[in-house]
């Protein structure tokens, strides 16, 4: 009888131990599955807006994705106005802009956080057939006002001037009109919504003139000097060349998580020292001056 009791107790003990092992195994499997799901979760970042900034964000975004397999970055154009309005509405994660948000008409910039990632120089560009390399500020204004209509009037060839403007809402247009034309009212002309389209039209249309970010000025185009000041990085850095802007990446509120990590990456030495220069932008660290929202210039030490 005593032996029977002992065997019964042993059976109960074994049952408890087996149950415990099963519970531990299930818990371990559950934790592994949860950890795997967590690590495979993908973060999607959508950045839209400035076409002047688009090439830099696209290439930096691709490099960032290569190092962060759990992140996908979708970069779209549409112009600075579109980028700012969409990020303000919360439709996208990042709004790319050539303008300070406060400069965009009709936009409530409250709550938007600015992240400067580069400087972009902009210049008036003509088809090389125009035969012009330099104009005065006054001549440039009159060309865009339609008061000068042939290149021979400014020392070029006998070729009708075709003005190609950027669409309303373009940060490139706003920057060019403010710093290149002193906000003079321009004549009505054809409008295009991207730097890339403008580059193609001007390079293939004799007599055409428009304006582009430095990063889009290719062979076949002639960047115009203004009052004998050339549109170069060195002249932008000390503000001798006035037509330039910061490239902004705005977020609605302070960024967190992978968005914050990506924006930090945009100002890293690797991007600023290599990709920014390679694509024709100017690193923030190369600037010898700072220009605030009001236009006030401060010399950097």
What are the tens digits of pLDDT across the range 146-164?
A: 999 999 999 999 999 999 9
Residue 6 confidence (pLDDT) above 80: no
- Residue with the bigger pLDDT between 195 and 295: it is 295
Quick: pLDDT tens for 10-47.
444 444 344 444 444 444 444 444 444 444 688 999 99
pLDDT (0 to 100) of residue 16 = 38
For residue 276, give Cα distances in angstroms to 61, 94, 118, 249, 279. 13, 19, 7, 15, 6
Nearest to 99, CA basis, from 66, 140, 133, 52: 52
**Mean pLDDT computed over 103-108:** 92
pLDDT (average), residues 57-81? 96
Three-state DSSP at 99 gives coil
Provide the pLDDT confidence category of residue 220 given band limits of 50, 70 and 90.
confident
Cα–Cα distance, 124 to 72 (Å, whole number): 36
Task: Give residue 8's pLDDT band: very low, low, confident or very high (50, 70, 90).
Answer: very low
Helix (H) or strand (E) holding 179: helix 171-179
> What pLDDT is recorded for position 41?
82
Residue 43: both structure tokens together: 């973060």
Mean pLDDT of 261-285: 95
Which bin fits 94, alpha (ψ -120 to 50), beta or left (φ > 0)? beta
Q: Is the pLDDT of residue 9 over 70?
A: no
* One-character DSSP codes across 22-35: HHHHHHHHHHHHHH
Q: Find tokens 């950045």 and name the residue.
A: 47
Token pair in block for residue 180:
């290149």
Alpha carbons 213 and 74: distance in angstroms, whole number: 22
Q: How far apart are CA 41 and CA 32, in angstroms?
A: 14
Helix (H) or strand (E) holding 65: helix 54-67
C-beta separation of 247 from 82 below 8 A: no
Handedness of CA 99, 80, 133, 183 (dihedral sign): negative
pLDDT at 124: 98
Give residue 259's pLDDT band: very low, low, confident or very high (50, 70, 90): very high
For residues 121 and 53, give the distance between their C-alpha atoms in angstroms, rounded to a whole number.
11
Query: What's the average model confidence in pLDDT over 177-182?
Result: 96
pLDDT digit string (tens) for 123-149?
Answer: 999 999 999 999 999 999 999 999 999
* Paired residues of 50 in beta bridges: none
Q: pTM (2 decimals)?
A: 0.82
CA 272 vs CA 31, 59, 131, 265, 285: distances in Å: 41, 12, 36, 9, 8
């Amino acid at each position: 009888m005593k032996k029977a009791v002992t065997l019964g107790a042993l059976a109960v003990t074994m049952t408890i131990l087996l149950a415990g092992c099963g519970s531990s195994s299930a818990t371990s499997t559950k934790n592994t599955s949860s950890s795997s799901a967590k690590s495979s979760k993908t973060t999607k970042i959508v950045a839209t807006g400035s076409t002047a900034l688009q090439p830099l964000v696209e290439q930096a975004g691709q490099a960032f994705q290569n190092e962060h397999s759990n992140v996908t970055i979708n970069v779209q154009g549409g112009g600075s106005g579109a980028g700012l309005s969409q990020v303000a509405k919360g439709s996208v994660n990042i709004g790319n802009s050539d303008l300070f948000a406060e400069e965009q008409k009709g936009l409530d910039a409250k709550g938007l956080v600015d992240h400067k990632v580069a400087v972009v120089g902009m210049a008036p560009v003509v088809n090389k057939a125009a035969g012009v390399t330099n104009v005065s500020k006054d001549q440039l204004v009159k060309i865009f006002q339609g008061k000068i209509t042939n290149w021979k009037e400014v020392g070029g060839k006998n070729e009708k001037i075709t003005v190609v403007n950027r669409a309303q809402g373009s940060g490139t247009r706003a920057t060019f009109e403010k710093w290149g034309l002193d906000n003079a009212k321009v004549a009505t002309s054809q409008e295009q919504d991207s730097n890339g389209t403008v580059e193609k039209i001007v390079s293939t249309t004799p007599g055409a003139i428009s304006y582009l970010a430095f990063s889009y000025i290719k062979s076949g185009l002639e960047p115009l000097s203004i009052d004998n000041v050339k549109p170069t990085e060195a002249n932008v850095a000390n503000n001798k060349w006035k037509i330039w802007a910061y490239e902004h990446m705005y977020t609605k509120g302070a960024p967190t998580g992978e968005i914050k990590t990506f924006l930090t990456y945009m100002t890293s030495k690797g991007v600023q020292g290599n990709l920014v220069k390679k694509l024709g932008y100017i690193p923030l660290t190369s600037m010898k001056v700072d220009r605030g929202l009001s236009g006030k210039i401060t010399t950097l030490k």
